[in-house]
Amino acid sequence: MASVFVTGSSDGIGLEAARQLVAGGHRVVLHGRSQRRADHAVKSVPGAAGAAVGDLSDVGGIQDVAESANGLGPYDVVIHNAGVYLLPERQVGAGGTERVFTVNVLAPYLLTARMRLPSRLVYLSSGLASGGRANLADLQWERRPWNAMQAYRDSKLYVIMLTFAVARRYPQVRGNAVDPGWVATKMGGRGAPVSVPDGADTPVWLATSDEPAALVSGRLFSSSGASLP
């Protein structure tokens, strides 16, 4: 049995991954950005061990999540699933950072740094990362006109970069990224070709499998389970 923490687990892929993990006999801690959403997550996943609370769009909220999650740990696996998609305009949170970058990139970075390291780290990216452009001089779109799709693509490219950096820095940890495909969540829309259970399969497999293909680090996996070095 593994102990697993899943961010953004009140709906979508995170919620389904948590359900699959509990069904597999694992200990699972959930996460919601508010107490209401955390309570909803716990009710939606019977058998969950609890839920951390905190808004990942704000640096202070990220710290709250780290402290709350650490208090409910330790963990063998952390799945960094939480994310936001297309925002109609650039939004700045209470801490002064842009929301897409904060939730999608800064939150997994800071949580990795501030939580006790598990044996495995799984980061949710996207196939749209292939259109991402690294702009280290303007990570938060302070200088450029806002482009919602490009901001999302860039953020998911940065997630892959973070994954590879973590794998190099912490060789004792298996750190991998996952492109779950175009999944029929609230974010992906009903017309998406990949079901939510199928979208959660690869993150769950990476979190728990002892197959040789899963016991690697510094890889990007597709929803089919294929990996790229």
What torsion, rounded to 10 degrees, do the Cα atoms 152, 158, 159, 163 define? Answer: 170
Question: For residue 27, which of 118, 153, 160 has the smallest C-alpha distance?
Answer: 118
Q: Is 120 helix (H, G, I), strand (E, B) or coil?
A: strand
Q: Which of 152, 158, 170, 186 is catalytic?
A: 152
CA dihedral in degrees (61, 18, 178, 190; nearest 10)? -90
Answer yes or no: 43 catalytic.
no
SS3 90: coil
- Choose, from 85, 109, 123, 156, the residue flagged as catalytic: 156
| In the block, residue with structure tokens 């409910």 | 72
* Cis status of the peptide bond prior to 74, with omega within 30 of 0: yes
Whether 177 and 129 have beta carbons less than 8 Å apart is answered as no
Judge whether 122 and 176 are in contact, CB under 8 Å: yes
Q: Outline where the chain has alpha helix (H).
A: 12-23, 35-44, 59-72, 99-101, 107-114, 148-169, 196-208
3 state DSSP class of 112: helix
Residue 156: active-site member: yes
Q: Where in the sequence numbering do the catalytic residues fall?
A: 152, 156
